[in-house]
A and B are shown apart, each in its own frame.
Chain A
Amino acid sequence: MLNALFVMAAIGLVLGAVLGWAKAHYRVEGDPLVDKIDAILPQTQCGQCGFPGCRPYAEAIAKGEADINRCPPGGEAGIKQLAELLGVDPKPLGEGLVSKPKSVAIIDENTCIGCTLCIQACPVDAIVGASKQLHVIVADRCTGCELCVAPCPVDCISMRIVPERLDSWKWRYPVFPIRPVAATLPAKGAS
């Protein structure tokens, strides 16, 4: 009896020591899940998700504090990727969030007073300019987060939808009635 207890206790101690050593030895710096989530997020840093940037949102998702459907710029594809990563079902974009076409901000050159407020607001340093100088947005760098629009004291920043160009053009999903539902038929119980 006593022998059995002793053996079990010894095994427990050894295994505990191994576990403890493994924890210290295979320790992962940071949270790799956050990095993976962050890699999927579009990095607009727009804060539409309710968090002050993509990384905080990724951390919140990793902790289970935020849902995966709070990112409008990521869109359906982003939600799907997050769902795959986390092994949950994809869901539609959260309430009150709308997916907008990709836009960039432009500064009205006639109105800008060179106050630098937008430069401070821009999360990705896409606006160049100095105090009392005309500011210019680098369109290639602009993520379309709209964070610069509100701070402008003279409302000179507007969002312009990026037009579809030949080199960014995509083939459309074939809109062909694969399922020819008769227009007259009410699609009751259609699954």
Chain B
Amino acid sequence: MNGTARVLHAFPGGIHPDEHKTESCERPIVGAPLYERYVVPLRQHFGNPARPVVKVGDTVLRGQRIGAADGHISAAVHAPTSGQVTAIGPRPVAHPSGLPDLCMEISADGRDASIAITPIDWRDLAPGELAAKLAEMGLVGLGGAIFPSHVKLEPAAGGIHTLILNGAECEPWITCDDRLMRERANEMLRGAAIMRHALGARHLLLGIEDNKPQAVAAVAEAASALGLPMEVVMVPTRYPSGGGKQLIQLLTGLEVPSGKLSTDIGIQVFNVATAYSLYRAVELGEPLLTRIVTVTGQVRAPGNFEIRLGTPIEQLIRLAGGALPDSRGWLVGGPMMGFELSDTVAPVSKGVNCLIATSDRLFPPRPAALPCIRCGQCALACPVGLQPFEMYVHARAKNFDKARRYQLFDCIECGCCSHVCPSHIPLVDYYRYAKSEIHAQERSKRASDEARQRHDFQAFRLEREKQEKAARLHKAAAGRPPATADDPEAARKQAILDAAIERAKAAKQGVNPRNVEHLTPAQQQQVAEIEARRQHAATEQDT
């Protein structure tokens, strides 16, 4: 095992925040009991939300698919236990917006009966077939990016030469990957071997920060026990070494071209926890039902917990002994890139890798911001080589085009710039704002383009109809005299229409009688105008 043989290529910038790993990394992973109620969000991954395939009242088994992947970039979701679907509707979820999202509520029956599971015989499968089978399993990247794994396992156009396992875990506080590698290195590596088979990768690397010597030893031991040719590479502890692009740069010196994927340069990166869940999916036939979550910070018993997806976060907090009295709130994910949890009722979803109980001592309130003095500390800290203060100036002025020209979309939102800013400016918040505004503008641009097309088509259609009508009239005029207002047929239609309006009015009054009492003259006039228009329209229709 060569832990140091590989020449590392440092990425620029980076920071050294306090690690706070020891709080939670010394305790073995703890399992969770069966709870009575689970809430499974249909959107737990990047891409389209899953489409429900069971109804309220249906009985489901553990591992049964309850939401199917909707489209290519999507992932299935599964029932965490056996029971009954009691509701499908919006529920609070762990998301920075704090907005509710569509979830399925499952009331456990206590039997925890499983569907029949069959391992996948991956050795005989062509790479593409394995990816297709995995699409049913709901696997997503568990490092936080929650990108559907089956998409990443499809054969890439140029082939994959290097598979990188990401065990860097550079965010402070989080230790779930550390514990996983210490305790389940064997299974994790077996998953990695399947990945390598599927991708046809020649090299298998595991990047891991040098603050996790026990995990390094465990993986190295498991690799030699399995006879798996791979390199376990210790990288210096420096945030954000666990960023996919940064880890690729560290280990290979290659850069993923802007706007492209790592597969374009023949590299694929998976989180170690994803490799582990892939092992379970393939070798055991079990879809993604659980994940390991670090619960730490101001809690009584910090540690790592293996918990079913859909478990309300408040249950998980109870497992960790509950929050200490001086805690202030909860962070989901690490303190560098995570977000504040708005409601602990929200369930654990595939992207929830860490929960941190905050307090004023651990996370002092942000000091008031001062103007930017262009000191350049942010540029020194930026791992991507951006000029964050320039992007900030333009994002703040809502000058999105300019911010874009400073490569706003190459920003990985790692938070290094905000961390080091002596003026305490929330830089990343400005970038997130600018990015989502640009995305919204693009959405509305698409919508308005579609609207223009439909409007233009309507204009064309009306013109065509007018011409056709003119031609018809012209032909008819030759045959018989034009219809007049006292045409008995028109009067009959008018009477029918009036009757219908009366009925509708009556129906409306029945529903909403308030409207008649407070008719202002303006409204009455409006009604009269509508009547006039309607009659005009009615006569036009009859012609």
Contact = CB atoms under 8 A, between A and B. Distances in A.
Contacts of B537: 115, 117, 120
A166 interface: yes
A124 B97 contact: no
B343 interface: no
B295 to A, nearest CB: 25
A154 interface: yes
Interface in B79-102: 93, 95-97, 99, 101
Contacts of A103: none
B interface secondary structure, majority: helix
A38 interface: yes
Contacts, number: 125
Contact of B444 (A42, A80, A115, A166): A42
A43 B452 contact: yes
A110 B507 contact: yes
Interface stretch (A1-9, A13-21, A26-34, A167-175): A167-175
B457 interface: yes
Given A45-B455, A117-B533, A176-B369, A111 B450 contact: no
Nearest to B496: A132
Given A117-B533, A141-B450, A176-B426, A170 B505 contact: no
Interface stretch (B55-63, B176-184, B429-437, B474-482): B429-437
Contact of A155 (B95, B436, B508): B508
B97 A166 contact: yes
A173 to B, nearest CB: 5
A75 B415 CA distance: 31
A110 B366 CA distance: 54
Nearest to A153: B534
A116 to B, nearest CB: 8
Contacts of A152: 530
Contacts of B255: none
B118 interface: no
A53 B456 CA distance: 11
A166 B101 contact: yes
Interface in B486-543: 497, 500-501, 503-505, 507-508, 511, 515, 526, 530-531, 533-534, 537, 541
Contacts of B95: 166
A48 interface: no
Given A117-B533, A153-B530, A169 B97 contact: yes
Given A43-B452, A124-B458, A111 B504 contact: yes
A93 to B, nearest CB: 16
B445 to A, nearest CB: 8
B150 interface: no
B454 interface: yes
B534 A117 contact: yes
B369 A171 contact: no
B530 A77 contact: no
Contact of A111 (B371, B457, B508): B508
A77 B458 CA distance: 28
A47 interface: no
Contacts of B396: 178
A77 B99 contact: no
Interface in A27-58: 38, 41-45, 53-54
Nearest to B499: A113
Contacts of B533: 117, 151
Contact of B508 (A44, A116, A156): A156
A177 interface: yes
A174 B444 CA distance: 22
B448 interface: yes
A interface secondary structure, majority: loop
Interface string A110-141: 11111111001001111000011000000001
A77 B43 contact: no
B373 to A, nearest CB: 13
B224 interface: no
Contacts of B450: 141
Contact of A172 (B366, B433, B507): B433
B99 A165 contact: yes
A69 interface: no
Contacts of B447: 43, 143
B504 A170 contact: no
B41 to A, nearest CB: 10
Interface in A72-98: 77, 80
Nearest to A102: B444
A177 B455 contact: no
Nearest to A77: B441
A129 B458 CA distance: 16
A190 to B, nearest CB: 15
Contacts of A116: 541
B74 to A, nearest CB: 13
A136 B448 CA distance: 21
A123 B455 contact: yes
A186 interface: no
A161 interface: no
A153 B425 CA distance: 56
Given A123-B458, A178-B369, A178-B371, A43 B441 contact: no
B470 interface: no
B326 interface: no
Given A115-B537, A124-B458, 4 more contacts: A41-B448, A113-B504, A150-B526, A151-B530
15 contacts: A38-B452, A43-B455, A77-B398, A80-B398, A114-B500, A115-B501, A125-B454, A141-B454, A153-B531, A166-B43, A170-B439, A171-B429, A171-B436, A176-B366, A176-B369
Ranked nearest first, the 5 interchain pairs of A and B with the lowest CB-CB distance are A43-B451, A174-B429, A43-B448, A171-B432, A170-B436
